[in-house]
Amino acid sequence: MTRTSIIATAFAAIVGFTAVAPAMANDVNIEQYGWRNSAGGAQHGYRNRV
């Protein structure tokens, strides 16, 4: 029973980490230097960040 539990726990951990990877890759970083820089555009949807 212990071996089955360990295998099931390891499998659940692998599935969990695999599901988190695409969510962590959904960012946009903008670095601007100078005077009066701005980022413009239109976004529609839910929880969009720029």
> How far is CA 49 from each of CA 8, 10, 17, 32, rounded to the nearest angstrom?
37, 34, 24, 16
Model pLDDT for residues 8-49, shown as the tens digit of each residue: 888 888 877 776 666 666 666 677 777 766 666 556 677 766
Q: What is the DSSP letter of 47?
A: S
Q: What is the DSSP letter of 26?
A: -
pLDDT at residue 4 tops 60: yes
- Does this model's pTM top 0.75? no
